[in-house]
Structure formats: C-alpha cells, structure tokens
Amino acid sequence: MLLKRYRSIYITFLVAFCTQISYSTEKAKSMKVLIDNVFTFAEKQYAPLAEQVYKLEGKVPRSTDANGALVTSDISWWTSGFFPGTLWYIYEYSKDSAMLNYARKFSKRIESEKFTTNNHDVGFMLYCSFGNGYRLTHDTSYPEILVTSSNSLITRYRPKIKSIQSWDKSELYNCPVIIDNMMNLEMLFWASKYTNDSKYKEIAVNHANSTIKNHFRKDFSSYHVIDYDLTDGHIIKKVTNQGCADASAWARGQAWGLYGFTMCYRETKDKRYLAQAKNIANFILNHPNLPTDKIPYWDFNAPKIPNEPRDASSAAIIASALIELSGYVGEQDALTYKNLAEKILRSLASPAYLARFGTNGGFLLMHNVGNMPKKYEIDSALCYSDYYFLEALLRYKAKFCS
C-alpha cells in the first residue's frame, strides 16, 4: 500500500518535471525562432540603410523625424558608435561578409572621435563600435583606438569628486555627472586589462562608488544629473536634464544604472555592485507604472500616464542587462529576471514595436523617446534602441537557447 502511494507521488513529480522541461524547451525553441526572424529582418533592413548613408560623407544614421524619415548625425554626436555597433552585432549573428565590410567601414568613419575630450560620450562611441569589432575580429589596429579613447575619457576624471565629468561647465551646470556615464566605464575596464595599467580601472571603480553614493534615492531610483562644485567637491544640486522632474525616475536613466552596475559587477566581482544592480532591477520590475507589455513610459513618473509615449530603448537596455544579471544571482531571481527580459523581447519583436521592412527610416524599433524636455525624437526610431535590442537577443540566445 505504502509502496503504491510512493509510486504515485513519484509519477506525479516525474510528469510535472517533464512537463516543465518540455515547456521550457518549447519556450527556448520559440525564442530561438523569434531571434532568427529578427536578425534575418535586421540584415535585410540595415543593408540598404548602410549603403545609403555610407554615400553621405561624415554621417551616420541616428533616428527618425516626426514623419518617420531618416535623420543622420555628424560623427561627433554621442550616438555615432551605435550604428557601427549594430552592424557588428548583425555580423556576429550572420557571419555575412557584406555586413562585416559595412561594420568595418562605419567604425573607421568615426575613428577620429577617439580624441574626444569635451564630453564623456567617447566610451559609448568607440567601445560600442571598435570594442565589438575587436571582440569579433581581433583586428590588431583596433586596440590603439580603444586605448586612445580611454586616455581621452580619463582626462575628464576629477579627483576632487572621484568622478568623470560628463559635460563641460555651462550656464546650467558647474561640473555635471549624469547616470548615463556608468556606461562609459566598460571601456576603462577593458583598457586596464589590455594595457596592464590599473589606472583606468581605478578611475572606473571610483566613479561607480561616487555614483552609488550620490545618484541614488532610498527606493534605488536615480537622479539624472549631480552637479558638483569642483573647488571643494560639494554637491550643488541633484536635478534632471531628460526626465520630467528632478525627483522623477527617467526611464533610460534607470536602465543605464541597471546595465552599468551589472557590468561593474562582471568586471570587479564587488558584491556592492551586484546588490546595487539587484535593487535597481527590483525598482523597475515592481514599479506600478510599468505597463503589462513591460515597455516603460519615457519616465516612470510622467504626469499623464497612461497617455505618455513609451521608450523602447529603455526596455531594450533593461532586457540586455537583466539577461546578464540573471547569471549572477540565485535561481529564483534568475528566473524573475529572465522572464522579464523575455517578456520585453517578445513585446519588442511584435508588430507593436518592430517596424515593417522599408519603413521607420530603415531602423528596427519604433516608439522611443530621445529627449522629451527638449522636444526631439519623441516616438521616433533611435539607433541605440536597435543596438541594445540586438545585443539582448544575442545574449539571450547564447545563454538560454544553446
């Protein structure tokens, strides 16, 4: 009798276990199909865009205007590395030689930006382009470009505030440091490993520590801008530049913070960065204003929610970060992060956000917000949205579909 009971419990468990496995396998298979479809589309959509813009000397694709037409930028604009970076990701997926050629050519186009010292964006520009290029090809001419870029970036380090100054002094700010700056640290970690010189990493760590200390609120949302006084290092003000209010949670700012601290944990294994990333993730995933499709409004506190534009770029950055973060935490958190990332990716890959061929200025994702207060790129395409979307899909494939 007892034996019979044990047998029936065992069979119940076995059936539940097998159902779970086959459900997970089905989900992984359907995500693999989704990823394959997006990359096939990306290649088809980006090849003519690359061909078209390469003819415009000194230009790179940036976004779309109010009519959905392509907007290009000069190579000095902060987003210039994302288009070459996206080409590198498409090449990583397809191994197509035409894509490799475009990725090399557009990276080369922005190389002179390695000398940028008048803002912090040199990390975004050069690491997303040449960083990926070096990772994928080991081209021996690329490290010099990345080391020069890192040397440019660290000229902006201010020992008094143990931070890299984001923008130059202006009428608005004395020494502003923005949460976005966390993203530029990845290149500095790379530079220390490549050169064996710890100075880049030390600056990155100091910057990350100051960011934890000064940018975050009790609920682990972050201020966009901290303005410091360089004479004695005190904080003049904590404000926003791209959010709806100084005390609000600008969506992309939260995404940059999540991604930045996840990356800092990868590079240092410092548990404080892991805790920070988990706390930011919890703020995002438990936020009452996160919509059911998990694509945030442009600011979590935007005044007219639900009648506010969404920002697909924040969603893409969050998804990419969560996939990485899921590899550093316990089983339960890992599943939560994976599920949220998957939900975001499914939403982004749906017709609600993914453009049709030949539309959206040649970009992939619709419904992003560049800069609401300055009234540009509202509900437009954005080159960095595509970049982090494809990065997230590649990360998902590598981690969960093999």
Where along the sequence are the contacts to ligand GLY (CB under 6 A)? 180, 242, 252
174 class by beta-carbon count within 10 Å (0-12 exposed, 13-18 middle, 19+ buried): middle
The nearer residue to ligand GLY, 72 or 254, going by C-beta atoms, is 254
- Shortest Cβ distance from residue 62 to ligand GLY (Å)? 12
Calculate the alpha carbon distances from 321 to 76, 216, 247, 255, 344 in Å.
26, 18, 24, 8, 12
The nearer residue to ligand GLY, 50 or 128, going by C-beta atoms, is 128
State yes or no: is 121 an active-site residue: yes
Calculate the alpha carbon distances from 265 to 11, 197, 247, 252 in Å.
42, 20, 27, 20
The nearer residue to ligand GLY, 180 or 386, going by C-beta atoms, is 180
Which is the catalytic residue, given 96, 180, 227, 270?
A: 180
The nearer residue to ligand GLY, 92 or 311, going by C-beta atoms, is 311
Which is the catalytic residue, given 36, 65, 121, 227?
A: 121
- Shortest Cβ distance from residue 379 to ligand GLY (Å)? 15
User: 3-state class of 380 per DSSP?
Assistant: strand
Task: Find the length of the chain.
Answer: 402
- Shortest Cβ distance from residue 242 to ligand GLY (Å)? 6
Distance CA 112, CA 76 (A): 9
Q: What is the tally of helices (H) and strands (E) in the chain?
A: 13, 9
List residues bridging with 167 in a β-sheet. Answer: 119
Distance CA 111, CA 394 (A): 25
- Shortest Cβ distance from residue 273 to ligand GLY (Å)? 21
Distance CA 69, CA 177 (A): 33
- Shortest Cβ distance from residue 11 to ligand GLY (Å)? 54
Say which residues have a Cβ less than 8 Å from residue 103's Cβ, sequence separation at least 6: 84, 87, 88, 90, 91, 133
The nearer residue to ligand GLY, 180 or 227, going by C-beta atoms, is 180
Residues with active-site annotation: 121, 180
